[in-house]
Structure 1
Amino acid sequence: MRYTERGVELGCVSNWGSITGSTCTISYTYTAGDVILESPVHPMTEGDSVTLCCKYWTTSSNIKAAFYKDGVLIKNETTGEMTIPAVSKSDEGFYKCKSPDKRESPESWMTVRVVSPGSSTSVLVGVVVGLAVAGVLLVILLVLLCRFKNAKGEIFIIHQLTL
């Protein structure tokens, strides 16, 4: 999302940014100074790893920065990058970074989706049950086929004996 004087704009529109994977690179800003926070454009899924980068817009190189979530300092990073190895719903919120000379980026919202654990488990259970049922039906079919062959052989032997 991008916050403008006209309101909120969704997506990464070509006249102000470009999208690569889940990163929207903003081409220019008028009120942000020259510090930007690179953050994911699309919602993150719980458990994903995410790296936030604080950069000068003019040089696009990472800068030493303080990272904030919902206005509260999280940590200072000399590399200009902050990684969350496995995001959770509690990581959802507004992020920004601040340079050593106190210039700060605009806030960027990060959304985290929660995947219900039952959805993948139920698919796995369905596959296992399906394979088990198919196996039982195959065994029954083989038993019936063997009995049919044996019965056919016995009828042939009886027919030969009666002749």
Structure 2
Amino acid sequence: MNTFYIPCLRVIPDRSQFFRYDSISLSCDDQSNSTGWKVKRKTLDGGVRPCSSGWGVASSGSTCFIGNTYPSDSGLYWCESVRGEQSNSVNITITDRAVILESPALPVSEGAAVNLRCKTETNASQQEFDFYKDGRHIGSSSTGEMTIHRASKADEGLYMCSTAGGGESTGSWLAVDASCSISVFRLICHLVVGTPYLLSTIILGLIYRDRRRGRVPQFCFY
């Protein structure tokens, strides 16, 4: 049986917002070590194009490097195989604004700590930074950083930040992946599957014990 691996598009630095002229590295993290995956993107003015076809520089393996980004590089990025299979996609924004929000480009695991950073183009210090989720103010910081200590599905949403003198960032969607958490339903399923095996083991043990004593117990099942 053939097994197909779908790689994961990874963005370095791990964020979805960038200033003009920032550098970005995008790679297809393929555990099968296949070389048939390429980074592609869809922009408003460029359509769907693979790396090295007028944008980016393809390096060894399935990695694409953008040296100087421009707002026209904003768009949806993903990995695609020669057979047309696609990985996860990441929406990347290149902005001319003076403020960006640094947040994870990929979904974070439920229960993980998430660091949000409000960054100004001039790296100005001694400012007050405000953070917002879905348009609602959720906190302020003098360092420009805010931490969600244990992420849950309730933390999923559109985040942005602002400074008193530098304006505000665009919004970035924070996705929380709960697939690694154990739900009540999954726990019940494990119990339903495992209980018959446990009962069978106990019954066989009792039969073996009583046979050694010269009698066989009678079990009634309803």
Match of 1:120 in 2: 187
CA offset digits 1:115-162 (Å, max 9, x no partner): 642113432454355334323222323433x15xx69xxxxxxxxxxx
CA offset digits 1:37-57 (Å, max 9, x no partner): 222333345544423122235
TM-score normalised to the size of structure 1? 0.57
Shift in Å, 1:82: 1.7
Flag the structure with higher helix content: 1
CA contact (8 A) 2:129 2:144 kept: yes
CA distance in 2, matches of 1:58, 1:102: 10
Pairing partner for 1:15 from 54, 62, 65: 65
Flag the structure with higher strand content: 2
CA distance in 2, matches of 1:112, 1:76: 22
Identity of aligned residues (%): 38
Match of 1:108 in 2: 172
Runs of at least 5 residues in structure 1 that lack an aligned partner in the other structure: 18-23, 152-163
Matched, 1:135 2:207: no
Structure 2 CA distance for partners of 1:30 and 1:39, relative to 1, 3 Å: closer
Q: CA RMSD in A?
A: 4.1
Runs of at least 5 residues in structure 2 that lack an aligned partner in the other structure: 1-15, 18-41, 49-62, 68-89, 216-222
Shift in Å, 1:16: 5.0
What pairs up with 1:14-163 in 2 under 5 angstroms? Answer: 14-15=64-65, 29-33=94-98, 35-56=99-120, 64-113=128-177, 116-124=183-191, 126-144=193-211, 146=212
Matched length? 135
User: What secondary structure sits across from 1:141 in the alignment?
Assistant: helix
CA distance in 1, matches of 2:200, 2:97: 62
CA distance in 1, matches of 2:144, 2:134: 19
CA contact (8 A) 2:117 2:146 kept: yes
Which protein has greater RCO, CA pairs closer than 8 Å, 6+ apart? Answer: 1
CA distance in 2, matches of 1:142, 1:52: 62
CA distance in 1, matches of 2:139, 2:66: 30
User: What secondary structure sits across from 1:101 in the alignment?
Assistant: coil
